[in-house]
Amino acid sequence: MSGIDKSAAEAEVVRNKQLLLKDHVIGFPKESDFIISTENAISLNVPENSKGVLLKNLYLSCDPYFRALMIKPDHSIKTPFPAFTPGLPLYGYGVAKVLDSEHQNFKKGDLVWGTTGWEEYTLTTQTNSLFKVENTNVHLSYYVGILGLAGITAYGGFFDVCHPKKREKVFVSAAAGAVGQLVGQFAKLTGCYVVGSAGSKEKVDHLKNKFRFDDAFNYKEEDDLDAALKRYFPEGIDIYFENFGGKMLDAVLQNMNMNGRISVCGMISQYNLEKTEGVHNLMWLFYKRITMRGFSAFEFYHLFPKFAEFVLPHIQENRLIYVEDIAEGMESGPSALVGLFSGRNVGKQLVFVARE
Amino acid sequence: MSGIDKSAAEAEVVRNKQLLLKDHVIGFPKESDFIISTENAISLNVPENSKGVLLKNLYLSCDPYFRALMIKPDHSIKTPFPAFTPGLPLYGYGVAKVLDSEHQNFKKGDLVWGTTGWEEYTLTTQTNSLFKVENTNVHLSYYVGILGLAGITAYGGFFDVCHPKKREKVFVSAAAGAVGQLVGQFAKLTGCYVVGSAGSKEKVDHLKNKFRFDDAFNYKEEDDLDAALKRYFPEGIDIYFENFGGKMLDAVLQNMNMNGRISVCGMISQYNLEKTEGVHNLMWLFYKRITMRGFSAFEFYHLFPKFAEFVLPHIQENRLIYVEDIAEGMESGPSALVGLFSGRNVGKQLVFVARE
């Protein structure tokens, strides 16, 4: 009885484990760039009339764009989100359960995905970055992957940027990652010939056997990327989905076909270099009338309903496979984050924080 | 009487001065890479039923794409035309008069423009590369410039590739050249803010005073191209018309606005380098959602009628200025060709061969 009286009368305060950025990162991120802190506590009740929502975080997404948020903010560069602040938790996409709400659109017990903090509990008023989980017959974690940012990135970046046609030749780099694995499978569903590159034997096996790419290779075992591409694409490349950058892009450019399209999603091989590699083969852009377009997933957020309609039946009928690399517990966060940039993850990297 | 009998009975044969490629060119073209030959003779009569046309060449066009035709053919690179052959005349666009014809579409006295040889007289059967000169109230030489390849290149490469809107900020490199001067003026006619770069004080003066660019600078006098661009574009660049390549492209990339467009026409600073300069700032493509498209003028040939309708009134009413750099006589050909790659020409470089 006294317990009930207490929770109604005053806020329940609990420890809130967090993953903090220690300081701005220079070069390759190290586990020591992050701190697991148990020093903070949080009230599980939302202040009345605050329009806030109290989230219990279940899954947190590790994304390559995080690297850009770890540097000292450089106003000449437009990052997709504001930089992380040393001493504060990272923030990003996550799946969470609403524990308390003072916002009309959310009620206790709702499952949501969207922007949240790298901590056990997050009190947020940025409710326009939160979306209801609408299909509970798929894995909940899919909402920070195939049904979230990675999914819409692959969908818009492939269909909207590349306009693929049946029988076209498609190359995907970093193909076993969160986005690459989807682009390859979307290309197969379109009737294209698809080859992917990745950085380990295990990933290459996944590409060929799990994701049913036509072929795949380990770029670390190729001394001559140009020769490798000529081997896999004797008729040239029509579409390149760029996740990697640098030498790979250089090799791809000289293997593109006339009117080829390059969708520039990211360049993960370049994010931790002090000076990016120079790309020398840009003259192929006019030799072959190539269109190269950089995009951001935000451009395609309006396509979410159309995307869900497209992707859900494919998931449910097993025509689309989605591989996740789930690290267990907040403590595994630093290792998961660092592994993302060394390519240790196989599939979509995320962190499991808690059960519903 | 005997003279008439002779010309009817047998072919009139004349000396045919030619400009030959001596050998495949490595590095920067030198005047000694070309030979002026007077050793050949040609009949001024077209063999009966040959479907050939005998041209007297009046103007010959010097184009940057020539550089790609001077190398030993490399089948991995798609050049716009077959390579030049050592020991044979160069070929390219020219304006000519028909002296004799066995083709139904052409008759003696017709003025034509299109593909011809670097020689005084050319016998050709490739009549699908010849077009009638339809407006004789403009300079005849304009048909190898503003009314020919350079014009359609600027028109398609600017309007079709960049989709310019009023008040957008446009930057043009190699802006005093055959294409650049037109792009800048098309941009002004569209209501854009336009800045051009060029490599001499005289060219910069032309850009500002003759072509009415909003501003212009000499890139050779700028130690820091990024700083220069920030000075001329405090609000960033919406459209970049790329004629130059290398360091300029790198500097432009970091000054592009969101949803910027880069029309890749050429990269003249790179054609004579053994190894092209590396471009390091391609990550800006996705930071700013930039579209970069390489094109070839051939894509736009179907627009010629629409283009002529657009451009002719502007020429006739002096809203478009076209500056040509005309070298006198075939003997000046080697110097004109070499000067094109050192940027010596001001405006469209061509060679005057003969009067009608």
pLDDT given for residue B9 in this prediction: 47
Which structural domain, as residue segments, surrounds residue B178?
149-298
Same domain for B155 and B288, yes or no, is yes
Same domain for B340 and B224, yes or no, is no
> Alpha helix locations (H) across chain A?
2-9, 66-69, 149-155, 161-162, 180-190, 201-205, 225-232, 247-253, 284-287, 304-316, 333-342
Tell whether the model's pLDDT for residue A4 goes beyond 90. Answer: no
Pairwise CB contact (< 8 Å): A76 & B281: no
Same domain for B339 and B244, yes or no, is no
Same domain for B238 and B278, yes or no, is yes
* A197 class by beta-carbon count within 10 Å (0-12 exposed, 13-18 middle, 19+ buried): buried
Pairwise CB contact (< 8 Å): B287 & A258: no
Please name the member of A79, A281, A294 whose beta carbon is closest to the beta carbon of B285: A294
Instruction: List CB contacts (< 8 A) between A280 and chain B.
Output: 275-279
Contact indicator for B126, B45 with CB cutoff of 8 Å: no
Q: Report the distance separating Cα A239 and Cα A264, nearest Å.
A: 11
Work out the pLDDT band at B47, boundaries 50, 70, 90: very high
pLDDT given for residue B2 in this prediction: 42
Average pLDDT, stretch B145-160? 96
β partners of residue B124: B53
Instruction: List CB contacts (< 8 A) between B266 and chain A.
Output: 286
CB-based contact (8 Å) between A99 and chain B? Answer: no
Pairwise CB contact (< 8 Å): B258 & A78: yes
d(CA B64, nearest CA chain A) in Å: 13
pLDDT given for residue A80 in this prediction: 67
Pairwise CB contact (< 8 Å): A289 & B299: yes
β partners of residue A117: A91
Work out the pLDDT band at A272, boundaries 50, 70, 90: confident
Amino acid at A103: H
Please name the member of B264, B283, B288 whose beta carbon is closest to the beta carbon of A285: B264
Portion 60-79 of B in contact with A at CB < 8 A:
76-79
**Cβ burial B218-240 (10 Å sphere, 16+ → b, else e):** bbeebeebbebbeebbeebbbbb
Tokens of B193: 């803010």
pLDDT given for residue A76 in this prediction: 63
**CATH code for the domain of A76:** 3.90.180.10
% of chain B residues with pLDDT over 70: 95
Tell whether the model's pLDDT for residue B8 goes beyond 80. Answer: no
pLDDT given for residue B76 in this prediction: 63
d(CA A140, nearest CA chain B) in Å: 29
SS3 call for B19: strand
Q: Decide if A314 is inside a domain.
A: no
Same domain for B129 and B84, yes or no, is yes
Range in A76-80, A144-148, A157-161, B293-297 the model is least confident about? A76-80
Instruction: List CB contacts (< 8 A) between B76 and chain A.
Output: 254
Tokens of B68: 């790609």
Q: Decide if A332 is inside a domain.
A: yes
Q: For B214-252, how does the pLDDT look when each residue is reduced to its tens digit (9 = 90+)? A: 999 999 999 999 999 999 999 999 999 999 999 999 999
Give the pairing type, strands B91-101 and B53-61: antiparallel
Same domain for B166 and B275, yes or no, is yes
pLDDT given for residue B78 in this prediction: 63
Q: Report the distance separating Cα B61 and Cα A72, nearest Å.
A: 52
Instruction: List CB contacts (< 8 A) between A297 and chain B.
Output: none
% of chain A residues with pLDDT over 90: 88
Tell whether the model's pLDDT for residue B134 goes beyond 90. Answer: no
Work out the pLDDT band at A356, boundaries 50, 70, 90: confident
The better pLDDT of the pair B3, A278 is held by A278
CB-based contact (8 Å) between B277 and chain A? Answer: yes
DSSP string, A199-229: SSHHHHHIIIIIS--SEEEEGGG-S-HHHHH
Tokens of A236: 């040239």
Number of domains in chain A: 2
Q: Decide if A94 is inside a domain.
A: yes
Size of interface A-B (CB pairs under 8 A): 104
pLDDT given for residue B72 in this prediction: 86
Q: Report the distance separating Cα A75 and Cα A90, nearest Å.
A: 20
Tell whether the model's pLDDT for residue A348 goes beyond 90. Answer: yes
The better pLDDT of the pair B4, A189 is held by A189
pLDDT averaged over chain A? 93
SS3 call for B175: coil
**CATH code for the domain of B278:** 3.40.50.720
Tell whether the model's pLDDT for residue A94 goes beyond 90. Answer: yes
Work out the pLDDT band at A274, boundaries 50, 70, 90: confident
Same domain for A115 and A217, yes or no, is no
CB-based contact (8 Å) between A265 and chain B? Answer: yes
pLDDT averaged over chain B? 93
SS3 call for B259: strand
pLDDT given for residue B7 in this prediction: 47
Quote the pTM value.
0.91
Same domain for B274 and B339, yes or no, is no
Q: Decide if A230 is inside a domain.
A: yes
